[in-house]
Chains A and B, each alone.
Chain A
Amino acid sequence: MEPVTVYSQYAWLIPVFPLVSFIVLTAFGRGMRSAGMLIGMLGSLAALVLSVLVLLERMTNGDSPEYNYSFDWITIGDFQLNAGYDVTNLSALMLFVVSVVAFLVNLYSAGYLKEDERITVFFGYVALFTFSMLGLVLSDNLLTLYMFWELVGVCSFLLVGFWYTKPEARAAAKKAFIVTRVGDVGLLIAVLLLFWYMPEHDLSFAAIENVFGQTGTIAQGITTLIAILIFVGAAGKSGQFPLHVWLPDAMEGPTPISALIHAATMVAAGVFLVARTYSIFEASQAAMDTVAYVGAFTALFAATIGLVQNDIKRILAYSTVSQLGYMMLALGVGSLSGGIFHLFTHAFFKALLFLGAGSVIHAVHTQNIHEMGGLGRQMKITAWTFGIGALALTGIPPFSGFWSKDAILAVALDKNPFLFAVGILTAFFTALYMARLYFLVFAGKSGAAGKAHESPAVMTIPLVVLAAFAALSGFVELPWAGMGRLGAWLTGEEAAHSGSGLVLVVSTAIGLLGIYLGWLIYVKGAIPRDFISSRAPWLVRLLERKYYIDELYHAVFTVGLRASGRALDAFDTYIVGGAVRLISGAAVWAGRAGTRMQNGQVQTYGLWTVIGLLALILAIAGRRFW
């Protein structure tokens, strides 16, 4: 079939638009305010328009060949490292998600950060991030992806630390960069392995799919190793246990950033990466199981922590970690379409929830949910849209999260009932913590934070748009035969829907149960709030302290590194430096001794002459006897 590439071949322009914005803002942004915002928005709007055109093109020609362009980046002897982009259905979808959220966040930030004196710097960073993220999803090979992968990490770092004078922001930015870098080393080694094991050292995703799609080309052990290393990288970016610790702290960044980077796009890059190299995972059952179990564990683990946090953004952050766990679970049990579907819906409803939280914070100037309350009457748009997002996240039909979560749970039930049970339990906790959050913030009496006003239109319009997506985006894939359009479009075949009727009912019931329980506790007061904490204070404490993971890492890594640093430093000063001083000291001593001999006394000279002569005679004479 003749490829239809009217817009696809210009896809490289999509990341270029925000890049231009970034360059302009960096070079000339000083002193700009509204002009700077406009430049940032124009860049992301242009990217959005072209992304939509590319997506439409791929949707109408879903099975036409993909457009690919690549060039030699470095040529060394017979080896080549390429850079390039290709427009697949998956990347077209991701382009759309990224540019929609990026544009809406740009718009929202114009209101949210209106007072900030460094607003053009902010828009510049956001533009750089948008460029990098779009580049990441367009990359046609693992090395190019790795480069953008690092760039989005840096942008995340810059934006988390945007309010750089706060020591917490500095610490969080540093932590975000370093923890994800741990994962990146895994990915880096995977790249090295692939380079030397792939035929013709080809790192392109197309070649990877070819080679790993057929068994036997690359040994099983190496395949598993590569897959696990890629997953280590993905776990770092996507906040999977045990590399999840940076993501909640990253909430120190401005809230629009939490929505864009730490909810909708960058943190999903790990899921995207696994999906992009899925053939490697499919070739190794061990790797698939690792992904599934780590994902399931992370989902449950983070959801339990989310139950007891008091900071509105941190609850959402743990929720993000938990939902990313779902996506990994989906990929691990073999459902590529389920994972991507949930990524797609989650991007909208979680961005919505964060922006809604931002709207609340903007109004009441606190992030503690216990200081809020009764905001539903004062901030109607925020409350309604947040409610839609919460229902989507909880998985109540017909909102989007319901359909995507159902797609995952259905496959899990099919493949591994234990993982299904974990998923259902997580769904219950999800419903409970969202109910707690929603009721404490929007229901009841006004809290300590007092009166609030609805945010300006520039902030509420993005909320409404995202709410529409959060409500409706689930309909792209329905669990009945013939209606799994997204899956069919992405993978070429529709996902199986065995036993999904049961799953639909169970997951809805569990979600409603969680909400009902939350209502009983936080609205009706039928169950006292300290029901658990009075009976098992250690449990609540354990959850509040996030299972002491941060403390553990601090004790092992930070303290350990500092101690070994001190030890090496002392070694450097006293042992290496000491040896040097000893040698130079010996030379000085010899020099001094020599000086002392030449004291101007003829007798001394005579004495030394005699001693020397004797030594010489002895040496010459002595030789005969040896």
Chain B
Amino acid sequence: MPEQIPWLTVLTFSPLVGILVLLFLPKANSRALRTAAILTTLVPLVVSLWLFAQYDPSAQAGGIFVEQTPWITAALNSEALNGVASYVYEFQYYLAADGLSLPLIVLAALVATMAAFASVHINKRWKAFYIWFLLLETGMLGVFMARDLVLFFLFFELTLISLFFLIGIWGLFNREKAANTFLIYNGLGSAIMLIAFVLLIVTAGFQSVPDGEAMRLVYSGNYETIMANLADPAAYVNIPDAQANGSNPFFMSEGMRWLVFILIFVAFAIKLPVLPFHTWMLRVHAEAPPSVVMIHSGVLLKMGAYGLLRFGVFLFPQQADDAAYVIALLGVANILYGAITAFVQNEFKLVLAYSSISHMGIVLLGIASLNQIGLQGAVFQLVSHGLISALLFLIVGSLYERTGTTDLRELGGLARALPFMSGVLLTAGMASLGLPGLSGFVGEFLAFLGLFDSMKGVTAIAAVGVILTAVYVLRSVLKITFGPMSERYAALNDARLIEAVPMIALLAFILLLGVYPSILTDSMQHGFDRLFEQLNSRVGG
């Protein structure tokens, strides 16, 4: 493909083009709307897969795809400092895809396509649904690519708003309450994130650029600038007293760093979610339409972990290192708490919700390891859990459509009426409990392996979660599929083609990653290089 086409932009905004198409379709024709939406989601999927295949981590500059152009430049006061310098805010339209972003971009595009298929169960206001749906896709693709804090924030908010409507309009009985809880909680997270970002922009985002005779003093939201400044001992942000006549307003003290780090951690911990910020997502899992939960559980939760890595760990390696123990313990708490609570739920969707909490604990373990193996394990786990939970909720949607309930006490023996779906459910359950050969095992194993280097005891305790996961997964999956079947389910029909296609596609990816994990790990090979440079230089110095 030719170089001059801005593929990242195409990738991010192609769903918006789809929205334009949707606007011209009759609103009662659900089939046409759905077809248009599915076709639209194929564009980012194909582009992201192509980029993933093109990505060569060993190439110059890490082979990262970048698109960068000035976007908002707001002059503050051009007369300041007697015309010697001018202050400006500068925010860029800055997209980039590296080894950390690319797997998540592919995941987002893939899950979006599958969820578009699964939206066959949506039964009202199709046009509006797909418009919000595609907006959501643009938002999440943008989140994984934005490298300017303001741009990131905008994409992040876009996902909140579109999800709010998707839950509130198309959810189940308590949908409005669920949507409100979601919005309040995540709004709180966004507010915290915004504070942290503003603090970063006015300190680490500062740089002076020669502009002819004068100096241009720039407050930038540019991620690379901020990262470089934070890491550079000679940057303003690291010099307590740059000018003799007063303290440096751009200086970031140790305490300030901790504050920003903790703000960022909390902001994304709500999203992940980390205990005890998880209650909102239970409601979303239970009330949102299954195809939206596929995206929510499959992709949106991953934004929490992504943000934690990109803005927490990468920008503040020192703080992350000091807090590693706390992060690991939170991870263990997530794993055990989620698994034990999942065991007693009677609502299958809540089992899966607590299961997500448990699995995100593994991501925290991988992050806490702060070594190559564990971090790759964390990202692998993100992708893997994204695929698995998308598949599980895909089945939930099809199941609910047929049985009218996902209450475990009312289900049973469905393997007789629905052999194909039951088989897929069983396989997805196996993937979820970390069966080797399927993707769940690799992420889990790498996270454990990485963390074991520095925290053996913590890892050993976390490994107990492996048993508990088997316990609750088998309990719920076998309750649904095995055992005697109620006669009222005898006439159910197995999956239709439009349901089977995304199931098989997701299973294929789960199997592929489980058998041939290098396809993912190789692309992440250099995703963490700069982090280790900083961590190592700190240890050395």
Contact = CB atoms under 8 A, between A and B. Distances in A.
Bound pair (A, B): yes
Interface of A: 72-77, 79, 146-148, 150-151, 154, 161, 164-165, 167, 169-170, 173-174, 177-178, 181-182, 184-185, 188-189, 192-193, 195-196, 561-562, 564-566, 568-569, 572, 576-577, 579-580, 584
B518 interface: yes
A432 B424 CA distance: 47
B483 A565 contact: no
Nearest to A575: B276
B169 interface: no
Nearest to A147: B436
B459 A192 contact: yes
Given A165-B482, A561-B343, A562-B343, A76 B467 contact: no
Contacts of A72: 518
Contacts of A164: 413, 415, 481-483
Contact of B372 (A77, A167, A564, A576): A77
B430 interface: yes
A562 B475 CA distance: 12
B453 interface: yes
Interface stretch (B41-49, B189-197, B442-450): B442-450
A572 B340 CA distance: 12
Chain A facing B: main interface SS: helix
A76 B521 contact: yes
B517 interface: yes
B478 A74 contact: no
B279 A580 contact: yes
B437 A147 contact: yes
A150 B434 CA distance: 9
Nearest to A577: B279
B340 A178 contact: no
B448 A192 contact: yes
A174 B467 CA distance: 12
B279 A568 contact: no
A77 B528 CA distance: 10
Given A174-B478, A181-B470, A572 B341 contact: yes
Nearest to A229: B460
A192 B449 contact: yes
14 contacts: A74-B442, A74-B518, A75-B525, A79-B373, A151-B436, A165-B413, A170-B482, A173-B482, A174-B475, A189-B459, A193-B452, A568-B341, A569-B344, A577-B279
Contact of B471 (A561, A568, A577): A561
Interface in B396-447: 413, 415-416, 430, 435-437, 441-442, 445-446
Interface of B: 184, 276, 278-280, 337, 340-341, 343-345, 372-373, 376, 413, 415-416, 430, 435-437, 441-442, 445-446, 448-449, 452-453, 456, 459-460, 463-464, 466-468, 470-471, 474-475, 478, 481-485, 517-518, 521-522, 525
Contacts of A572: 279, 341
A572 B484 CA distance: 32
A18 B16 CA distance: 49
Contact of A195 (B430, B449, B470): B449
Contacts of A577: 279
B328 to A, nearest CB: 15
Contacts of A150: 435-436, 441
A564 B464 CA distance: 15
Contacts of B466: 181, 184-185, 188
* The 9 residue pairs across chains A and B that have the minimum distance between CB atoms: A147-B436, A565-B344, A77-B372, A170-B482, A164-B482, A192-B452, A565-B343, A568-B341, A181-B470
A77 B375 CA distance: 12
B482 A189 contact: no
Nearest to A118: B419
A188 B518 contact: no
A384 to B, nearest CB: 39
A164 B484 CA distance: 8
Given A161-B478, A178-B471, A565-B343, 12 more contacts: A74-B521, A148-B436, A150-B441, A151-B435, A164-B482, A164-B483, A165-B483, A192-B459, A196-B452, A565-B340, A568-B340, A584-B184
B483 A178 contact: no
A569 B85 CA distance: 60
A196 B453 contact: yes
B435 A561 contact: no
Contacts of A76: 372-373, 376, 446, 521, 525
Nearest to A146: B436
A73 B514 CA distance: 11
B341 A182 contact: no
Contacts of A579: 276
A148 B441 CA distance: 12
Nearest to A170: B482
A170 B279 CA distance: 32
Contacts of B459: 189, 192
Contacts of B341: 565, 568-569, 572
Given A76-B376, A150-B436, A165-B416, A170 B485 contact: no
Residue with the highest number of chain A CB atoms closer than 10 Å, among B456, B471, B525: B471
B137 to A, nearest CB: 30
A185 B466 CA distance: 7
A101 B470 CA distance: 30
Nearest to A576: B276
Nearest to B442: A74
Nearest to A158: B426
B484 A165 contact: yes
Contacts of B276: 576, 579
A251 B87 CA distance: 79
A188 B344 contact: no
Given A75-B518, A189-B460, A178 B470 contact: yes
Given A79-B373, A164-B415, A185-B464, A576 B470 contact: no
B344 to A, nearest CB: 4
A451 to B, nearest CB: 32
A572 B281 CA distance: 13
A182 B279 contact: no
Contacts of A174: 474-475, 478
Contacts of A79: 372-373
Contacts of B441: 147, 150
Given A572-B341, A580-B279, A170 B483 contact: yes
Contacts of B517: 73-74
B484 A167 contact: yes
Residue with the highest number of chain B CB atoms closer than 10 Å, among A77, A161, A562: A77
A9 B345 CA distance: 51
Given A73-B518, A164-B481, A165-B413, A151 B437 contact: yes
B435 to A, nearest CB: 6
Nearest to A148: B436
A441 to B, nearest CB: 31
B182 to A, nearest CB: 12
B415 A569 contact: no
B452 to A, nearest CB: 4
A147 B437 CA distance: 7
Contacts of B437: 147, 151
A565 B517 CA distance: 34
A562 B478 CA distance: 17
Contacts of B280: 580
B449 A185 contact: no
A75 B415 contact: no
Contacts of B453: 196
Contacts of A75: 518, 521-522, 525
Given A75-B522, A165-B485, A568 B337 contact: yes
A167 to B, nearest CB: 5
A31 to B, nearest CB: 12
A185 B464 CA distance: 7
B255 to A, nearest CB: 26
A189 B441 CA distance: 14
A75 B57 CA distance: 14
Contacts of B340: 561, 564-565, 568
A139 to B, nearest CB: 11
